[in-house]
Amino acid sequence: MPIAVDIDVMLARRKMSVGELADRVGITPANLAVLKNGRAKAVRFTTLAALCEVLECQPGDLLRWEAEDAAGV
């Protein structure tokens, strides 16, 4: 998947646990783990906005596009 999720980077910068972030955002730790590990197929804008509010960051700090390796396709 060419979209990389950097929630773990922001968690480390904010010295926050996955459980605390999930609680403050209002989603389950399991759903946050799915998103954090790049297994989610979609993310609601309301969830993305809540993540940005709690982590005090921009959407681009959490999500980035990576080109797929042409040899691996």
To the question of pTM greater than 0.75 for the whole model, the response is yes
Q: Report the range of poorest mean pLDDT among 7-16, 21-30, 64-73.
A: 64-73
- Which token pair is 23? 């609680």
Residue 1 CA to chain centroid, in angstroms? 14
Angle at 57 between CA 56 and CA 59, to 5 degrees: 140
- Give the pLDDT score at 72: 57
